[in-house]
Structure 1
Amino acid sequence: MIDQEPLDPTEAFAELGRIKLNETDLDHVLGRIAELAKRTIPGADEVSVTLIPGKGPRTAAFTGELALALDERQYEIGAGPCLEAATTTATVSIPDLTREERWPDYRSLALDSGVHSALSVGLPVDQTVTGALNIYATKPDAFDDDAALMAQTFSGYAAVALANAHLYDVTATLAQHMQAAMESRAVIEQAKGIIMGDRHCTADEAFKILSKLSQDTNRKLRDVAEALVANAARGRG
């Protein structure tokens, strides 16, 4: 179980900086950001992280089901503090939901759930992904000026950690795709060589034969090539 004792901000910032991207993944970084924020920002009862990639908003991490439910309600109606903060990368504060006139659907759910204060701070990740750190409290006026400043400072550190994790994740995925492409090319070249030897044809003719076999059998070119190479290896054995 994660220690929920309050955490000194300096320790939280240091921990964000100590995250080793080669030993974790993006989901773990997001979860750690939410956990540290809950322990660091005064007045926080629940915390979530909203991300808005190209496919629309999602809650990428949360410390409790209450935060998740409030986030998802905002996504359903297409409006709310977390969406505004994420799209504008600004800070949106709701000191007391009983006095809040914006977003009535969200307001009703929040009050019915026992939430009376909310604070969302924008998290710029990169040019294609934005997000927000969402902090919820059961008490009204839970976030004073110091708490809001702490949330903004924390979000600055979190944005750097998140941007680095996102970049690392994208780079690792690209490297995996490149490796797979290189492996595909290698096995296709092997298959072409086998066909050239059997049919006494050129490399272009061998590729056309391989492509036609792929189309006729409705299988990927790499799969056809791998099967041909495997059959040839068994034949040599």
Structure 2
Amino acid sequence: MVSSDIPDMRTGFRLAEALAGAATALHAAEGPEQTMDTAVALAREIVPGTAEAGITLIERGTRVRTGACTTEAVRAVDAAQRSGPQRPAAPYWEALWERPVVRREDTARDPATEAAAKLGLRSLLSLRLSSGYRRLSILNLYASGADAFDDRAVRIGRLLAAHVSVALDSARVQEQLTEAMHTRDVIGQATGVLMAKLDLDAREAFRRLVRASQQENVKVRDIAFRVVETIGGGNGERGSGID
């Protein structure tokens, strides 16, 4: 997943080589999940001081999940932001809606990051990957000691985060295009099945797919899959949701 021969950063040239290698590894990953797994592994190798890393995804302002992590302790830090009686009033990531970077020299001194300190993660460098309407993605870097991330680490972290952001956007667009093509194909198949089995024209067959989708509050794609698997598969109309 990650090249084992990424060079150290003793010179600017070697840093450039490391980032080029990171870009190659990120774009070679298949899909958003593998891209995030690659990103956190690269962060631990490239950004000075990093012991552990994770990608945190915030949706609708409050829903928090871990996209990838190098240790379960990172996942536990994210979990502390969304549950439990000691959930902080202002999450550690709140400032990242407005700022691209937030650095905490000692997580034990901030109620929002006490969970990290209790898990042995004393320094935190948070780098915004993307933000939108009530959606935020962050690359979080952790160290076991306090004040572990200096200005150089921040600069390198921001360069890596830029590569990760571009790679993730690309992976998500590719995934959406692939899903759209697959969805189009299965809806076309389902329409054809209904036309043949129920003696309908194309417009009426599609209308019935949409109506079943609305009645059951599921996507048209899912209704289409059901039609293809049940009616198209020779199992009759039972269970298809189409009448």
Q: TM-score when scaled to structure 1?
A: 0.72
Within 5 Å, which residues of 2 pair with 1:150-161? 150-161=156-167
**Residues 57 and 135 in structure 2, CA contact (< 8 A), matched pair in contact too:** yes
Structure 2 residue corresponding to 1:111, chosen from 113, 117, 123 = 117
Counterpart Cα distance in 2 of 1:167 and 1:155? 18
Q: Which residue of 2 aligns with 1:46?
A: 52
**Residues 91 and 112 in structure 2, CA contact (< 8 A), matched pair in contact too:** no
1:93 partnered with 2:97:
no
Letter in 1 for 2:231: A
Q: CA deviation at 1:81?
A: 2.6
Q: Give the secondary structure class of the aligned counterpart of 2:77.
A: helix
1:175 partnered with 2:181:
yes
Structure 1 spans left out of the alignment, 5+ residues: 197-202, 233-237
Structure 2 spans left out of the alignment, 5+ residues: 9-14, 217-222, 237-243
Within 5 Å, which residues of 2 pair with 1:3-152? 7-8=7-8, 9-19=15-25, 24-54=30-60, 56-76=63-83, 77=87, 79-85=90-96, 87-88=97-98, 90-98=100-108, 100=109, 102=110, 104=111, 106-107=113-114, 109-124=115-130, 129-152=135-158
Deviates more, 1:176-185 or 1:126-135: 126-135
Q: Give the secondary structure class of the aligned counterpart of 2:50.
A: coil
Higher helix proportion (structure 1 or 2) = 1
Q: Give the secondary structure class of the aligned counterpart of 1:50.
A: strand
The percentage of counterpart residues that share the same residue type is: 23
Q: Highest CA radius of gyration, 1 or 2?
A: 1
**Residues 75 and 83 in structure 1, CA contact (< 8 A), matched pair in contact too:** no
Counterpart Cα distance in 1 of 2:45 and 2:136? 23
The count of aligned residue pairs is 210
Q: Give the secondary structure class of the aligned counterpart of 1:75.
A: coil
Letter in 1 for 2:197: A
Q: CA deviation at 1:226?
A: 5.6
Q: CA deviation at 1:20?
A: 7.8
Q: Give the secondary structure class of the aligned counterpart of 2:157.
A: helix
Deviates more, 1:29-38 or 1:163-172: 163-172
Q: CA deviation at 1:183?
A: 0.9
Describe the shift of the 1:224–1:82 C-alpha distance in structure 2 as closer, same or farther (beyond 3 A).
closer
Within 5 Å, which residues of 2 pair with 1:177-216? 177-193=183-199
Q: TM-score when scaled to structure 2?
A: 0.71
